Amino acid sequence: MNRPNFLLFILDGMQAATIDAAHPCRTPNIERLKQRGVTFQRAHTCCPVCSPARASLMTGLLPHNHGVLEVEHGKDEDQCILRDDKPHFAQRLTDAGYSAGYFGKWHIERSNEIDRFGWQTHVVKGSEHHQHLGKGTHSFAADTLDPDLCGWLEDPPGYNRILHYGVTDTPPEERPLGISMQCAQKFLRERLADDNPWCCAVSFSEPNEALVCGRPAFEEYDLDAIELPENLNADFSDRPNLYRRERLITRNLSEEHWRRARACYYGCISEMDAQFGKLLDQLEAADAVEETVIILLADHGRYVGAHGFDAHNIGAFEEIYRIPLVMAGPGIRSNAHSDALVGIQDLCPTILELAGADPINVPDSNSFAPALSKSDIGDAFQQGFAEYHGSRFPLAQRILWDDDWKFVFNGFDFDELYNLRNDPCEMRNLASDPAHSGRVKAMMSEIWDRLRTTGDRTLLESHYFSLRLGVVGPNRDGADA
């Protein structure tokens, strides 16, 4: 059997909308991949936080099963631990004879000894990088940034002053992303010289963290022409109080500040697109494109002004849950689009099926390989599911997508219901509308089924007096759970 190679290009905090056809962000190399493969327009993360999402990508498990509920660097050493007894897709690939290399941001567990998880060759960022970010510091010295093109967050008093956006004259090749790229290119040069199958994952912190881009990329975008999100100042009177509190953080930011931040965001993505193009060129030069499954994705999205938020730690909105996902390669349709509600965890079994490797059979995820070769996959992936456990501030949130509908169970406030076809910006919460009470109950019941199927005991066993927060409970038809 001819086994395909795999190239994964993993971004951090990239909105799926930035690769939509009508979006102003310039990504010509991602467009090259889209023309060659399938774009999953409704792909979503299973958790809008780096560590849990990336661990789910590797294991096919939801966070409550692999143990990484939040960013690992924000917890004590005996908390938020990746469970070692859970297999990873790279382990299955190496068992099947693949050479596996991983370069860049890991951020899944603390040891960074990722050869234990199947990656034989690796160069990853140390955990101290993320620990500094948690304190509000950044990786760019002030003298490398244009002081006239920097934006800072300084309120409320008592918090560190942190960089929100900035423009630098340091080229991408001399920034941390350049090191990851050089390592990946070296790995590819060596692997392309022999006939053995390989898997190369190159992973980045961009365009998350401080929004820093090079001057040439920044100047590609006309600030006056950048549109602000339609939901920047949305009415939150029908939303959880936490969302209103979150928006207080950015209440003093001007529209000009947001336009500059978005220009830096787009510029950073354009720089990442150029780096991706180098890998495509390298494969094409070696005549290896037709035998390589190329996967571009992000671990989660980012707000950048949507709903008046930024980052990705509060809110159940599409800007942080919907992720870019494009796949191309042997047997994969070209210039195609899919509305399948695939989750980031579903990539694990999909990769293994395409490789002909031993599967990881868990109820949390399913292979969507059939969607790569044919447009009609019946009732498969008509629903999607995600979970959120908080980020430093613990809370419980579960999300169900069902065709055009999205229901958010909030264990800290009242629930949310959106019709994404009629209300793509999620401006109106329909959860308390009596006309939709039947749908709310049905979708809450489906969430309980997901928790039951995947063994989410924490919420399933919430029958105690003060924990009965669902509009319906976990028992099926009134029977004992």
pLDDT of residue 144: 84
CA-to-CA distance for 88 and 118, rounded, in angstroms?
7
Query: Quick check: 52 and 74 in contact, CB under 8 A?
Result: no
pLDDT of residue 480: 45
> What Å distances lie between residue 319 and 191, 297, 308, 379, 425, CA to CA?
37, 14, 12, 25, 9
C-alpha atoms less than 13 angstroms from C-alpha of 428 in its C-beta half-sphere: 9
Q: For residue 481, what are its two tokens?
A: 């759970």
Using DSSP's 3-state secondary structure scheme, residue 218 falls into helix
The count of other CB atoms within 10 Å of the CB of residue 381 is: 22
pLDDT of residue 142: 59
* Low-confidence residues in the chain, pLDDT < 50: 127, 129-131, 479-481
Q: What angle do CA 329, 331, 337 make, to 5 degrees?
A: 75
CA-to-CA distance for 292 and 248, rounded, in angstroms?
47
Query: Quick check: 54 and 299 in contact, CB under 8 A?
Result: yes
Q: What is the reported pTM?
A: 0.94
Phi, psi of 264 (to 5 degrees): -65, -40
Domains, the chain: 5-125+170-209+271-373 (3.40.720.10), 392-467 (3.30.1120.10)
CA-to-CA distance for 264 and 161, rounded, in angstroms?
19
At 274-285, the pLDDT tens digits run 999 999 999 999
The torsion region of residue 250 among left (phi > 0), alpha (psi -120 to 50) and beta comes to: alpha
Please state the separation of Cα 1 from the chain's center in Å: 33
CA-to-CA distance for 354 and 328, rounded, in angstroms?
12
> In one letter, which amino acid is 150?
C
Element (H or E) spanning 286, and its range?
none
β-strands 38-40, 162-168: how paired?
Answer: unpaired
CA-to-CA distance for 360 and 371, rounded, in angstroms?
19
CA-to-CA distance for 341 and 339, rounded, in angstroms?
6
pLDDT of residue 134: 52
> In one letter, which amino acid is 43?
A
pLDDT of residue 130: 45
Query: Quick check: 19 and 272 in contact, CB under 8 A?
Result: no
At 213-236, the pLDDT tens digits run 999 999 999 999 999 999 999 999
